[in-house]
Amino acid sequence: GESVGLHLPTLSVQEGDNSIINCAYSNSASDYFIWYKQESGKGPQFIIDIRSNMDKRQGQRVTVLLNKTVKHLSLQIAATQPGDSAVYFCAEILMTTDSWGKLQFGAGTQVVVTP
Amino acid sequence: DAGVTQSPTHLIKTRGQQVTLRCSPISGHKSVSWYQQVLGQGPQFIFQYYEKEERGRGNFPDRFSARQFPNYSSELNVNALLLGDSALYLCASSSGTVSNQPQHFGDGTRLSIL
């Protein structure tokens, strides 16, 4: 399929190492954040989410950290595997004026896992 | 269980034509949202529907319209196609509103305008 990651920042990681993907979000009022993984030719796949009342949340091999002071999110992947190669997006929920929210995606980071 | 399904997977149209894209949400999900993803960028929000009513609209022209059916499936229509409409169109569903539940995406419809 077509590459999703054309012109995106790239993070090269050696297999077995830990990966850290960073994301700056735009709205200090955002209170729900999601990380997605998108492989070539596929739609974004939900990885993990976090609400603004938390600083850290762990899943299977993944950890999300939220720093509301500087509007920063990070995704840590432990023991990175070749199957982790993909584009990773952070997304924040922006509330619309009538209290409904919409997902706003960051620019994305291409992760390349090398043997 | 089946995930979000979209049809067709690929579509080629010419400028000025009209197109209809279809989406079936995950069973039990009542919210459907549509996104446009241009190559090399993150998805951009177009519409959200919840319980068959439009709940949000992104910064897209009136050529873009959508609807949700009683079975919660949805269609996205684009009229008077332009070259710049070439993109991957993604549908996402969630069990609740966007603000409190994660959205799950289909694999999209790749639309190419000649």
Average pLDDT, chain A: 89
Task: Please tell me the predicted confidence (pLDDT) of residue A1.
Answer: 43
Place of tokens 């694999």: B107
Task: Please tell me the predicted confidence (pLDDT) of residue A98.
Answer: 62
Kindly tell me if the per-residue pLDDT of A26 is higher than 60: yes
Whether B60 contacts chain A with CB within 8 A: no
Closest CA in chain B for residue A40: B107
Q: Rounded to 5 degrees, what angle do the CA atoms A7, B6, A47 make?
A: 55
Give the Å distances, CA to CA, from A76 to A30, A59, A111: 21, 10, 12
| Contact across the interface for B107 and A34, Cβ inside 8 Å | no
Task: Please tell me the predicted confidence (pLDDT) of residue A47.
Answer: 96
Name which residue leads in pLDDT, A5 or B35. Answer: B35
Per-residue buried b or exposed e for A21-45, using 16+ beta carbons within 10 Å of the residue's own CB: bebebeeeebbbbbbbbbbeebbbe
Residue type, B47: F
Rank A68-72, A99-103, B88-92 by mean pLDDT and report only the highest.
Answer: B88-92
| Contact across the interface for A46 and B40, Cβ inside 8 Å | no
Chain A residue numbers with beta carbons less than 8 Å from the beta carbon of B58 are 102
Chain A residue numbers with beta carbons less than 8 Å from the beta carbon of B41 are 107-108
pLDDT tens by residue, B52-79? 899 889 999 999 999 999 999 999 999 9
Alpha-carbon gap, residue B39 to B36, rounded angstroms:
10
Give the DSSP H/E element, type plus range, for residue A87: strand A86-95
Share of chain B above pLDDT 90, in %: 84
Surface of A (41-100) touching B: CB under 8 A? 41-46, 49, 89, 91, 93, 95-96, 98-100
| Contact across the interface for B40 and A106, Cβ inside 8 Å | no
Kindly tell me if the per-residue pLDDT of B1 is higher than 80: no
- Nearest neighbour of B39 by CB, restricted to A2, A49, A98: A2
Whether B71 contacts chain A with CB within 8 A: no
Chain B residue numbers with beta carbons less than 8 Å from the beta carbon of A45 are 105
| Contact across the interface for A101 and B90, Cβ inside 8 Å | no
Mean pLDDT over A16-44 rounds to: 93
Chain B residue numbers with beta carbons less than 8 Å from the beta carbon of A95 are 99
Mean pLDDT over A70-79 rounds to: 96
Mean pLDDT over A78-88 rounds to: 97
Task: Please tell me the predicted confidence (pLDDT) of residue A2.
Answer: 45
Average pLDDT, chain B: 94
Kindly tell me if the per-residue pLDDT of A96 is higher than 90: no
